[in-house]
Structure 1
Amino acid sequence: MAENAMLKFVSTPRDMPEKRDATVRREDFHEIYAEYADQKAKEQASRCSQCGVPYCQTHCPLHNNIPDWLKLTAEGRLREAYELSQETNAFPEICGRICPQDRLCEGNCVIEQSGHGTVTIGSVEKYITDTAWENGWVQPIAPRAERSESVGIIGAGPGGLAAADRLRRAGVQVTIYDRYDRAGGLLTYGIPGFKLEKDVVMRRNEQLEKGGVEFVLNCNVGEDITFDELQAKHDAILIATGVYKSRELDAPGVGAEGIVRAIDYLTASNRKSFGDEVPEFDAGLLDAEDKRVVVIGGGDTAMDCVRTAIRQGAESVKCLYRRDKANMPGSQREVQNAEEEGVEFVWLSAPKGFTGDEVEGVMVQKMRLGAPDATGRQVPELIEGSDYVEGADLVIKALGFEPEDLPKLWGVDGLEVTRWGTIKADYKTHVTNIPGVYAAGDIVRGASLVVWAIRDGREAADAILDQFSGAAQVAAE
């Protein structure tokens, strides 16, 4: 009887891919984890317990068939593993790199609960698809038959790209409109290369383009083309713009030179990695070199900023967060990486104001955690008389993102939004109150994870296909 390739978690310990030494990796923007070797990927995949109710799959927004492709990897059937992972996820190698697996699939792994250490699901997922690219298994999109229907997608981020992938595979004509000069949204300009190297995103953009998706870049809806023109041109519209409006601080001195938005800072850094000219970076405004850097915020965007500043050669990098480490919204794994690289976290601290016309310091007030609010999180309370000034030459505000006022921006008065400014759309079909207009991703759910945007984009694409099928059936009758 052949030996079972699985259930090796008792005899085989959890082992992540090798992480580059912090003193080395802080000098460049390359990804910090090495690739698994084939034998190591098989070994780690074999630790899966193949449990009857796979919580890893349940807690993945895409409900990836994780136990099945882990088993195929353990058995050396990598091409089948790739094909299975691609069925539920347009971009598994991207999710394998940037998903907070510690909060999703890996955080709910049954063997983790039993004390054996979770299966390294994200690293295996990344390995499977990287191997597929290397071996030419990733095939160009080739629909069995072309369809006459046309869809216009506003936004080339993960939600829009995932929808485009699904629609093109069904033969629909797809055009993506985006304000930037490269597709990818935050995958391209928001997430640093040490988490997601840009060639990984660019090859997916190229795959879509070769598969027949038309990209109209440097295009601002409402300026370069009206929403009415898009509706007249396409049979359906999908709004997948994401949320780009930065939350602001209301504090004395906040307008001082040297206080910048996280999105501007990260975009400038990523543009430099492409070799672009970035005047604000070259002039020093968005470059952390030799500066005392203070980042305000506790999410993953703040982690991206502090780790970027380290790589740019900052004199010091401090992160102010008003709660403690246990209550931080960002990935604990990212906090650990940042600490290893030399970032200092100043917990239970909030900015009260700023000194200098060109910023010289942050007036910091210390906090303590009080009673829980309605969500169960403890509310930060001010400790009187604990203020002090933290010296700073560059302050980066990483306070989260809000939706832009799209109805006003695009001149679409009839488009319904929620009280938070997000677009109101059906949670299953993603259709808005305007027939034929759909919305997906962060512009509906608020700032969230890439994996949720991918799920929303795929669901919206399926709903659009259902709309086309229904219309065709009515026409036939």
Structure 2
Amino acid sequence: MPCQDPAERRRNVNEVALGYTETQARLEALRCLQCKNAPCVQGCPVRIRIPAFIARIVEGDYRGALEIIRENSLLPAVCGRVCPQEVQCQLPCTVGRKFKDVGMSVSIGRLERFAADHAAGGELPAVAPETGRRVAVIGSGPGGIVVAADTRRAGHHVTVFEAFHKPGGVMVYGIPEFRLPKAIVQREIDLLEEMGVEMVYNFIVGRTRTIQQLMNEDGYDAVFIGVGAGLPRFMGIEGEQLVGVYSANEYLTRANLMKAYQFGRGADTPIARSRRVAVVGGGNVAMDAARTAVRLGTERVYLVYRRSEKEMPARVEEVHHAKEEGVVFHTLQNPKRILGTGDGRVAGVECLRYELGEPDESGRRRPVPLAGSEFQLEV
């Protein structure tokens, strides 16, 4: 898929992947074998009729492709960009299995994105006659949006209560603009509202109103709780209290939701400007944080991960993009403690080197620390 040049995108927050052209999309769609047993559908969490929508792309009927996708998913532009298709629908793809390489599978996610981008708008999803039932959805992240869409389609009155001042949950405060433009998330929210879903912001369930009050006093027949994983997890090592230590939640929320990357040109949210940053972890959130640090002007960004690159849970595409943007990978290493200056600020990280042992409960080889291998990483 066409992408921004790595040197250029280091200096902006625009979307990295530019999407297929019509010719590229139809050529990719022609690779689909239209398998009768459709193993890709079994790999899709919401069971989209994948061969059917791909066939519509081959025909040039992009609106028809989008309508098929929307039978099961109201977030095609989002899912086409950020869902891990390589471990879902593309993993059992017959084409990929023929070549024994999931990277050779039909690019279902990219085709889903293409259909969503090229056929945006159109008819609203069908809504059943009103049932008279009222449903409260707590949280406007991906889970909340899907539940709101499905219950509204069933004819129920739906109200989404969101604690923040903007909808979207992790799609807005967690996933960076360069991976998922916020205008796309807003477009999906707008569709929900056009279907008749009511959105209420700055509403903290449990404080503004309790669940009991929503049901017993406000007349809601059911409540869906989709508040997400809002609390960060720290490592419990020395030095985590130092100034300059961020959880990924805080760092990405400041940069994404509060637009701290504008450095006062449109937002007043402060964020550290550092010459060197170390990001601990090997998942998609770690990649997002490292690539965000690059765009905040950091001279050197290190990604420290205790296993090898092969065991990283991050998407292969995100690892590739991070490397292109200059992120330096320190694998088989992990922080032992964070070093500070006399005035309580981060000065460096003392790390241990690791080797891989036997597989653990996750199926990945367990990282085993090497005694006496300590070294310091200046940040």
Fold match (TM-score > 0.5) = yes
Cα distance in 2 for partners of 1:160, 1:244 equals: 14
Give, in whole Å, the separation in 1 of the partners of 2:316 and 2:186: 28
Partner residue of 1:245?
Answer: 231
2:335–2:349 CA contact under 8 A, matched in 1: yes
Give unmatched runs, 5+ long, in structure 2. none
Partner residue, 2:171:
187
**Counterpart position of 1:199:** 183
| Structure 2 partner of 1:257 | 243
The answer to whether the 8 Å contact 2:128/2:155 transfers is yes
Residues in 2 aligned to 1:374 and 1:210: alpha-carbon distance in whole angstroms: 45
Please tell me the root mean square deviation across aligned C-alpha atoms, in Å: 2.1
- Asked if 1 retains the 8 angstrom alpha-carbon contact of 2:135 and 2:223, the reply is yes
> CA-to-partner distance for each residue in 1:98-141, whole Å, 9 max, x for gaps?
011222222332112222822121111111111111xx41x345
2:321 pairs with 1:337: yes
Identity between Structure 1 and Structure 2 (%)? 36
One-letter identity of the residue aligned with 2:168: G
- Three-state SS of the structure 2 residue aligned to 1:310 is helix
CA contact (8 A) 1:98 1:195 kept: yes
1:325 aligned residue (282, 287, 309) = 309
* Structure 1, gaps ≥5 residues long: 1-16, 393-477
Change (3 A) 1:120 1:29: same
Deviation at 1:29, TM superposition (A): 1.2
Match of 1:421 in 2: none
Pair 1:144–1:114, CA change in 2 (3 A): closer
Contact 1:272 1:278 (8 Å CA) reproduced: no
Partner of 2:127: 143
Mapping 1:463-474, distance limit 5 Å: none
Which of 159, 182, 193 is the equivalent residue of 1:175? 159
Q: 1:290 to 1:243 in 2, by over 3 A?
A: closer
In the TM superposition, 1:295-310 aligns within 5 A as 295-310=279-294
Contact 2:85-2:91 within 8 A present in 1 as well: yes
Q: Give, in whole Å, the separation in 2 of the partners of 1:143 and 1:55.
A: 30
Matched with 1:120 is 107
Distance 1:304 1:168, change over 3 A: same
User: Aligned residue for 1:98?
Assistant: 82
Partner of residue 375, structure 2: 388
Q: Which has the higher contact order (CA 8 A, sep 6+)?
A: 1
SS in 2 for 1:323: coil
Distance 1:358 1:125, change over 3 A: same
CA distance in structure 1 between the aligned counterparts of 2:86 and 2:370, rounded to whole angstroms: 33
Q: Which amino acid counterpart does residue 152 of structure 1 have in structure 2?
A: A
Instruction: Write the deviation string for residues 221-258 of structure 1: whole angstroms up to 9, x where unpaired.
Output: 12111121012120111111111111112111111010
Task: Judge conservation of contact 2:254–2:269 (CA < 8 Å) in 1.
Answer: no
CA offset digits 1:394-426 (Å, max 9, x no partner): xxxxxxxxxxxxxxxxxxxxxxxxxxxxxxxxx
1:144 positional shift: 4.8
Match runs of 1:11-410 below 5 Å = 17-115=1-99, 117-133=104-120, 136-137=121-122, 139-140=123-124, 143-232=127-216, 233=218, 234-273=220-259, 284=270, 286-287=271-272, 289-356=273-340, 357-392=344-379
Q: TM-score, normalised by structure 2?
A: 0.92
Q: Per the alignment, in what secondary structure is the counterpart of residue 107 of structure 1?
A: coil
Within 2, Cα distance between the matches of 1:328 and 1:177?
Answer: 35
CA distance in 2, matches of 1:347, 1:67: 39
Change (3 A) 1:359 1:307: same
Q: Deviation at 1:155?
A: 0.9
3-state SS in 1 of match to 2:246: strand
**The residue matched to 1:62 in structure 2 has which SS?**
coil
More moved, 362-371 vs 109-118 = 109-118
Note the alpha carbon deviations across 1:251-275, whole angstroms, 9 max, x for none: 1111101001101111111134499
Aligned-partner Cα distance in 2 for 1:388–1:23 = 31
8 A Cα contact 1:366 1:386, kept in partner: yes
Q: Is the 8 A contact 2:282 2:305 kept in 1?
A: yes
